Structure 1
Amino acid sequence: MIVEIILQMRLYALYFLDKRILSLMVVSFIVSSASTALVLGLMYNGGISTQIETPFCLTELPDYSYAVWIPRLAFDTFLCILALIRGFQLAKDEGDSFDSSTLPSGKHLMKVLIRDSIGSYLIMFAVYLTFLTIWAKNGNLFETCFNISVGFESIVGTRTILRIRKVTNNGGPDVSASMVNDILK
């Protein structure tokens, strides 16, 4: 969910703080989150629990449990489409001068935001689609899939923020690389 909020903030900035885009994204986010919550609620009511004290410890999930990943896939696809549209608009406006080596820092930041939005989507789409497939075949990996998806979301969100910081530091040193070098010393 954090990565989706970061993606929305980036897209809002890419569309120059257009309130219509913000409204569209917020409504879509609420619908997606509500759909996911509905499926999770139905799963917990339809699942079989083995522990009386902990009703959230499920050992067998309903057949439709894989549907929890569908709203996330749909929302991320929507955000990627918005990023692609904005990227094509910028490329069309700039023509051949959209080369990152000749761009002023503001345009370079926009290019990085678009690239990262699409890259984040591809990573998270692959993760969510993999888990949807796993759950459709074997729903017993419920907790494992959620934990791994949260880890991937954290990594993608952190990398995005670090790349934005690098660009806004006027091409200064890559923060993540310097952090890794400090740790290895």
Structure 2
Amino acid sequence: MAALEEIVKQAHLLGYRGEKREEYLKQEFKLLAERQERKEKEEAERQAREKKEEADRKERLELEKMKLDAEMKLLQAKIEAGIIKNESDGSGARSSDAWAKHLKLPSFQDGRDDLDIWLARFERFAESNGWSREKWSSSLCALLIGRALDCYGRLSAERQRIMTR
């Protein structure tokens, strides 16, 4: 409303009277309406863009969650398969005990833990609990989170099975 009053004030200051004043006011009101319309259109486009970006972000998060769930199920299946295999060769009780102790080993925290020290601790723990080296990889994977798990996941299956420094 202030903009309309300003246009009328400008017409008066410019000395427009009669038809010339009416023509000037029509032209300025038209320009004002176009600016307002353009502003509203830009705002609507901005809101639509933000809404789409939010939907895309939610979709990406959902896909990542599904991917992580699938990886977790796969790792769980690998772990369970390893325990079942040990039970068939007569060492199942030892494996179950080792797995129970496994839960007491803390996960690697990127930014808080030094990787070399944490891996040395993991190796000492695995050796002291009598884990076979074939099981180290799946146990290691279960203790990784965040970027460390991403890096591990990018390794080939062959490389994941080999536990060397």
TM bucket (normalised to shorter chain) is: 0.3 to 0.5
Q: Which of these two proteins has the greater Rg computed from alpha carbons?
A: 2
TM-score (norm 1): 0.32
Q: Which one has more relative contact order, counting CA pairs under 8 Å at least 6 apart? A: 1
